[in-house]
Amino acid sequence: MSDFDWVMRGNLVDADAIVVDGWLAVRDGKIAARGQGTAPSAKEVIDARGQWVMPGVVDGQVHSGSQRDQEGLGMASRAAAAGGVTVMVDMPYDDPEPVASRAQLDAKIAEVERDCHVDVALFGTLNDTHGLDAAAGLIEGGVCAFKFSTFEATPGRFPRVEEDMLYEAFRRIAPSGIVCGVHNQMQDLTRKNVARLIEAGDTGWDAFLRAHPPLIENLATALIYEIGAETGARAHAVHVSTSRGFEICNMYRRAGHQASIETCVQYLMLNHEEHTRRFGAKTKHYPPIRPKAEVDLLWTHIAAGECTFVSSDHVSWGLERKENPNVFRNSSGGPGLETLLPAFWTGCEEHGISPTMVVKQLCRNPAQHFLLDDRKGTFNVGADADVVILRPERYAYDPSTSLSAVRWSSFEDREFTVRVTGTWCRGQQVFDGKGIVNQQGDGQFLRPRLR
């Protein structure tokens, strides 16, 4: 009898190397062995020769509950599996109330364990309703990060945390080693710019970019890192779209502070002149999609290894929230779980960057960031057998086939160079290239390791 439940053969990609004609051996949901050439016997052999085999993606920015009774964790986890995502890190800003207490966290954990097809880690937040003292219960309950905002995106659900409260929150969280992520946007400058444009009747497709110049983002990014420096907390800017943001982060890193930085795949693969002109408010994100010259600069930071990780910032708004001719009346964000991996892989290929960078930015680094790296993000022996097969193939992305709650995308018709043909989570196949093949509740809630 074989020692292994299954063996997979293919071109293995991890954060450090590519192994052509490699193999993985799995036992009890864990990577039990790996090698090159002749594979050992197993109860099942999965032949992916000629295809890429990489660890499952850890998507560090998912908003599954922003629109009540619309998507939720269970449906989002289906889209995740179809995109090669085996870990969703879900944001706390659920409709109608954010996850800011232990009771709310416990309820969300129950939703994960009841509905999800892949594994899920959770953010928490703090607000006026439950107070700063709720931080201890959220940490004990298993959040892997906290999320705050310097801008009130939605009253109650997504509030602004003013600087003195942000300082106190960072100070309390710092000893736990859990990261403090912040939506980086200066509120007063934003509101003044938007009011001025609305008063002038300047509300078309290109107005959102002009209302949000880089200074609005860069000032907030610096504020986040300075509060981190003052408190000793792990300070993280959650969606940086400017080269200057990376320069600011590098400055704090060189000074010895725990500064980390994230960008989203849309800021690397979409640009204002082409995609926002074509899709209008469908590409309305915060921060805005930048001009191509800024996108090109962002890729230099990816190539230099200066980005902590890349995420999707997925949210499945219905199109009714994206079709107002006044761009400011539309919701920010869009679906992205299924496009994160193929889009970023394609972008790296187009910029001459090795597939190992895909694994660094989508797998290893986010697992480390959220303290999940004892089991996620690598092919190390003993890690969870989270595996994705990618077939080299050029095709135009068609969102009508999505497993998400909506079937639109600002990546519509974008040519990708790889297609997800199989996803395994802890050794169990979740997606077979056509549909979901495991059951609701097979996903697990993930607690961070002790730091």
The confidence score (pLDDT) of residue 3 equals 87
Q: CA 36, CA 21: separation in Å to the nearest integer? A: 6
pLDDT at 346 over 70: yes
pLDDT at 1 over 60: no
The confidence score (pLDDT) of residue 166 equals 97
Measured in degrees and rounded to the nearest 5, phi and psi for residue 88 equal: -95, 130
pLDDT in tens, 122-137: 999 999 999 999 999 9
What domains sit in the chain, N to C, each tagged with a CATH number? 4-53+382-404+415-431 (2.30.40.10), 56-370 (3.20.20.140)
pLDDT at 451 over 90: no
Average pLDDT for 360-382: 98
Spatial neighbors of 6 by CB under 8 A, at least 6 apart, are 25, 26, 42, 43, 44, 45, 46, 427
The confidence score (pLDDT) of residue 2 equals 75
The confidence score (pLDDT) of residue 283 equals 97
pLDDT in tens, 44-72: 999 999 999 999 999 999 999 999 989 99
Measured in degrees and rounded to the nearest 5, phi and psi for residue 231 equal: -105, -15
- CA-based Rg of the chain, rounded to a whole angstrom? 21
Measured in degrees and rounded to the nearest 5, phi and psi for residue 333 equal: 115, 170
Using a pLDDT cut of 70, give the percent of the chain over it: 100
pLDDT at 297 over 80: yes
What average pLDDT is seen over the chain? 97
pLDDT in tens, 209-226: 999 999 999 999 999 999
pLDDT at 421 over 70: yes
The confidence score (pLDDT) of residue 364 equals 98
Widest CA span in the chain: 76
Overall size of the chain counted in residues: 451
DSSP reduced 3-state for 106:
helix
Q: CA 291, CA 310: separation in Å to the nearest integer? A: 19
Amino acid at 115: D
Amino acid at 45: V
Using a pLDDT cut of 90, give the percent of the chain over it: 97
pTM for the complete prediction?
0.97
pLDDT in tens, 388-416: 999 999 999 999 999 999 999 999 999 99
Crossing angle (nearest 10°) for helices 292-303 and 243-254: 30
DSSP 174: G
Average pLDDT for 299-326: 97
**8 A C-beta contact, residue 428 and residue 56:** no
Burial zone of 400 (CB within 10 Å; 0-12 exposed, 13-18 middle, 19+ buried): exposed
* Residue corresponding to tokens 């989203």: 264
DSSP, residue by residue, 214-261? HHHHHHHHHHHHHHHHHHT--EEES---SHHHHHHHHHHHHTT--EEE
The confidence score (pLDDT) of residue 450 equals 78
- Characterize the bridge pairing of strands 387-396 and 415-425: antiparallel
Cα-Cα-Cα-Cα torsion 244, 248, 254, 256, nearest 10 degrees, comes to -160
